[in-house]
Amino acid sequence: MCGIVGYIGKRRAMDPLIEGLRRLEYRGYDSAGLALLQDGSIEVVKAVGKVSSLQEAVAAHWPDEATSKVGIAHTRWATHGPPTVANAHPHVDGDRRFALVHNGIIENYLALKTQLQRRGRTFYSDTDTEVLVQLIASCYEGDLVQATAAALKQVEGTFGIAVLCRDEPDHLVVARRGSPIVLGLGRDETIVASDVSALVAYTNQVIYLDDDDIAVITANNVELRTIDNVPVSREVAHIDWDTTAAEKSGYEHFMLKEICEQPTAIANSIRGRLDDTLGTAILSGLDLSQHDLALINRVVIAACGTSLHAGMMGEYFLEDLADIPTEVEQAAEFRYRNPIIGPNNLILAVSQSGETADTLAAVREAKYKGGLVASICNVVGSTIARETGRGVYLHAGPEIGVASTKAFTCQVTVLLMLALRLGRTRRLSREMGLELIEELRRLPDMVRTVTERAPAIEQAAKRFHDAQGMFFIGRGYLYPVALEGALKLKEISYIHAEGYHAAELKHGPIALLDEHVPVVALANDVPGRSKVIGNMQECRARHAPVIATATDGDPDVAQHADEVIWIPRASRFVAPVLTVVALQLFAYYFARERGCAIDQPRNLAKSVTVE
C-alpha cells in the first residue's frame, strides 16, 4: 500500500529518500513527506499530492541543501483520515524526539489513543499511525529498540515501520508484521524500503524481514532480533534486476511499456520449464514428487482482483487437462467462512506482489488446517513466497503500473503449465502434452502479433471513448477474460464497466442496453463462439454498439459487430492470453483519450497490504 524509505550512510540522505519515493509512488500518491536528523533536531517536510509536490516543499524549506546522512520518508495511500498535510507521514511525538513512517493498519488505535490522551498526550492527525509514535515516546527510557518493542507488543493489526530518534542519531529502528520491509545492504550505507524498487539503484544485496522482526540499522551493520528480544538471522538475497527495468524506457506510460513487454515476460515465465521428452512442464519450485502430485485430489485457488481472474482461468485448465476438481476462492472470504481443507488438497495462493494481505491470511489459514500450500508470485523473497515455501515464480520483471498486465498473462501461463504438469501425472497423453508445449512456445510471438496491432485497437478505443458505461461478455475460457477486460477499463478510465458471462446478459443486464452502452463481445473461434454471436445480435437489436474480438479469417463475426479486434488463431487454452492483451490495449487507449492518470489511477494502489 504505502511506500516507505529509510536511509543511513555516507550520502546526503535527501537524495536516496526522494529517489526512493519516486520509485515507490505507485504504492500510494495521496501525500508524501520526509524527516531528517538535521543539526541535532528532527525536521519534517510534508506535502499533499505526489512526490513532485514534496520536492517543491523541500526546496522551499531548505534553500540551502540539507546535509543530513540519516532520514526516513513516506508516500501515502490514505486509509485513516483524508489526504492532508497533517495526516501525511512522517508523524512525530509532541516533543519531536521521534519520527515514524508506517504502512499497515493499527486495529486497536482508538483504544490506545484514548489511553495516551488520558496520560496527557496531544494528537494532531486523524491517523492510526500517530498512535504508534506517541506510544513509542511513552515507552522510551533511553533505548529506542526496547521502546519500539514495548509499543508494538500493545498493537493489534499490521505494520511496517521505520523510526528515527534525535537522541540516538547513529541508527534507525525498523520492524514489520504483515507489511513488507526489505533492507538494502550497500557499501557504508543501508537503505530501508517497502519494495526493492526503491533500493536497487544502490545495492542488489537485500534482507527481507519476517513478521515480528525488529532491526537496528546503521551505515555498516544490521542487527536483527524478534519483538521478544531474541537475536535472529535472515538470509541475504540477491536481486537480479536493475533500475532500468523500472523505468519507462521511452514509453508514455508504464502500463503501455508493460503491455508491450509481455512477449518477453511470457518467454521468461516458460524458459527452462518445458520438457519435450515427457511432454510435460518442469516446475521444480513446487518441490513435489510425481507421487505427491498424483495424490492431489482437489485444488483451491485463493486470490484477489486481477489474480482472482487468473485463478478462474486456472480452474478451467486444471479441470479440463488434469481432471482435478478446482475451486476459486476470493481470498478475503477464505479464512472467514471456515473452508473445508483435506490432506490431499492443494491450496494455491496467486499474488503478483506476494504481499496481498487477504491472500497471505488465506495461506496461513490453509497451513493451519493442514493443507498442501503453494504460491504463484512475481516477487522473489515476498512474504507469501516465503511462507508457502513452495511454488512458481513468474519472472515477469517489476510491474510498476497500478493496473496489472504482464503479471496476469504470466500467471495464466504458469497455471497452464501447472495443469499440464498435473495432467501428465494422470490421463493427459504425451501427444497432447507436446501439442500444448508447442503452443506455449509460440505464445510470445502470438502476443507480439497482438501488440503490433495496437494502432487498429487505438482507433476502436477512440471511436467509443465517450461511452459512460460498457459491458464485456464471454463464455467458457473467455468468461474470465471478460471480467478482466472490464476491470482494466474501470481501473484506469473511471467509467462503469461490467464483465458478464454472455448467457447472463438476458438475466438483467440487457435492460441497461441502448445506443450509449457499447458491448465488448469475445467471439473468438473457440467453443461457445456461435452462442456469443447470438448474444451480439441481441445487443444490436437493442441498438447497443458491439465491439467484437474475433479470430483471424473468421467470416461471420464482422457482420454482427460495429468494430472488430482481430486475434491470431489459437486453441481455447491460449486464446484467452491473446484476447486479454488486446483488451489491455483497448483500455489503455480508451483512458488515454479521456485524459486519465493511467499509471496512478485515483483511489488505487499497486499492492493491497491491508485488509
DSSP β-bridge partners for residue 102:
161
* pLDDT class of 421 with cuts at 50, 70, 90: very high
Q: Is the pLDDT confidence value at 12 over 80? A: yes
For the annotated catalytic residues, the residue numbers are 2, 606
Q: CB-based contacts of 2: which residues, under 8 Å, 6+ apart?
A: 27, 28, 74, 75, 76, 77, 89, 101, 102, 103, 194, 605
Q: Which residue has the higher pLDDT, 277 or 242?
A: 277
CA atoms within 13 A on the CB side of 363: 28
Q: Which residue has the higher pLDDT, 66 or 423?
A: 423
* pLDDT class of 244 with cuts at 50, 70, 90: low
**pLDDT tens per residue, range 345-390:** 999 999 998 888 899 999 999 999 999 999 999 988 888 998 999 9
Q: Are 254-450 and 454-593 equal in CATH topology?
A: yes
**pLDDT tens per residue, range 200-242:** 889 989 999 999 999 999 999 999 999 999 999 998 988 876 6
How confident is the model at residue 66, as a pLDDT? Answer: 77
Q: Is the pLDDT confidence value at 314 over 90? A: yes
Q: Which residue has the higher pLDDT, 586 or 157?
A: 586
Contact predicate 145/132, CB 8 Å: no
Q: Rounded to an integer, what distance in angstroms lies between the CA atom of residue 190 and that of residue 204?
A: 12
**pLDDT tens per residue, range 491-518:** 999 999 999 999 988 888 888 888 899 9
How confident is the model at residue 418, as a pLDDT? Answer: 98
SS3 560: helix
DSSP assignments along 433-478, one per residue: HHHHHHHHHHHHHHHHHHHHTHHHHHHHHHHHTT-SEEEEEE-GGG
Domain limits, the chain? 3-244, 254-450, 454-593
CATH assignment of 254-450, given 3.40.50.10490, 3.40.640.10, 1.10.10.10, 2.40.110.10? 3.40.50.10490
How confident is the model at residue 104, as a pLDDT? Answer: 87
H-helix or E-strand spanning residue 308:
helix 305-322
Q: Is the pLDDT confidence value at 103 over 70? A: yes
Q: What φ, ψ does residue 315 adopt, rounded to 5°?
A: -60, -45
Contact predicate 126/117, CB 8 Å: no
Residue range 23-34: mean pLDDT, rounded: 81
Residue range 124-151: mean pLDDT, rounded: 94
Cell for 100? 515514524
Helices marked H in 380-429: 383-388, 406-424
Q: What φ, ψ does residue 542 adopt, rounded to 5°?
A: -95, 15
Q: Rounded to an integer, what distance in angstroms lies between the CA atom of residue 580 and that of residue 499?
A: 13
Q: Rounded to an integer, what distance in angstroms lies between the CA atom of residue 278 and that of residue 434?
A: 8
* pLDDT class of 170 with cuts at 50, 70, 90: very high
Cell for 238? 540477491
Residue range 283-310: mean pLDDT, rounded: 95
Q: Is the pLDDT confidence value at 56 over 60? A: yes
| CATH code 3.40.50.1970 for 454-593 | no
The percentage of the chain sitting over the pLDDT mark of 90, rounded to a whole number, equals 74
- The model carries a pTM of 0.82
* pLDDT class of 45 with cuts at 50, 70, 90: very high
Residue range 546-568: mean pLDDT, rounded: 94
Determine the topology of domain 3-244 in CATH. Answer: Glutamine Phosphoribosylpyrophosphate, subunit 1, domain 1 (3.60.20)
**pLDDT tens per residue, range 564-602:** 999 999 999 999 999 999 999 999 999 999 999 888 887
Q: Is the pLDDT confidence value at 461 over 90? A: yes
Across the chain, mean pLDDT equals 91
How confident is the model at residue 606, as a pLDDT? Answer: 54
